[in-house]
Structure 1
């Protein structure tokens, strides 16, 4: 094989691998808030009052009520912030929610409990068997908000650290 054919083949492979990246770009209006309606199992990305995108979501395995204790399987309710981004998540990609806030910690402390933490908006499990199980069950997370992998790729590109997230019953 001559060098020219080899070089063209290499460039084609690089081009194809770039197409499969989980990291997307977004150039539209900024997402000013995220709203999760737990009862409807829907999440909305908003620019002011305009809905830019909406998604079906899965929640914690005990979805009703506000999260109060580590391991309770509930998804929090209230207003929080996106406080971190995890490109190496066990769930494809994820963005963190700053639960517990000061009020959550105070309520848990008054009850003598640990409020838990590590609440994220994330994709599907990276582990193939876990992903198959998750697709068969509604509300399979430990308290997070889950979407499909292609959807978390959009969300990861659109939602910045510091964006408010409101989780409603």
Structure 2
């Protein structure tokens, strides 16, 4: 098992630093992702907590707070998992995460009960990690938040993440 992880680590490093495409079979627990909103960074770690690569990212709103309601353009915070991967006509590739999950609903319902958000508010959905519009990767370089709550990075980086991270990979979004 350890040699398989070492092989997966080597393949990930090659995929992250070259145009090499990952051809192996990584398991959902071989990697995890931490997205730090305050640093505008997405970091990938292996199962042994070794840092592998960091990519710059941007979000929705300039307000980096936790997502409250549908349409607020904020990126949710918490622990999620990649639930689907697909090519995307506008943003290169799309790694869908399981927002809203049980943790998200719990925070949402507590905020409703406290009157922080309206009783008729909706939680939203369709959050993921994706690329940028064609020829607009400068938004990532300039830290221009433009999404509806998703995490966006350069297309070359989303291609590498798409090739390596399997469905089921844990994604932690924090501030």
TM-score by length of 1: 0.75
1:51 and 2:51 equivalent? yes
Alpha-carbon contact 2:83-2:96 (below 8 Å) kept = yes
SS of match in other structure, 1:87: strand
1:52–1:100 CA distance, 2 compared to 1 (3 A): same
8 A Cα contact 2:83 2:97, kept in partner: yes
The correspondence of residues 78-157 of structure 1 with structure 2, limited to 5 A, is 78-109=78-109, 111=112, 112=119, 113-126=121-134, 131=136, 134=139, 138-157=144-163
Q: Displacement of 1:33 after TM fit?
A: 0.4
Moved more, 105-114 or 55-64: 105-114
SS at match of 2:83: strand
- Unpaired runs of 5+ residues, structure 1, are 1-22
How many residues are paired up? 144
Query: Residue in 2 aligned with 1:35?
Result: 34
- Contact persistence 2:21–2:163 (CA under 8 A): yes
> Counterparts of 1:29 and 1:85 in 2: how far apart (Å)?
15
**Cα distance, 1:70 vs structure 2:** 0.6
Structure 2 residues not aligned, in runs of 5+:
1-18, 113-118
Task: State the superposition RMSD in angstroms.
Answer: 2.5
Report the structure number with the largest CA radius of gyration.
1
Change (3 A) 1:120 1:63: farther
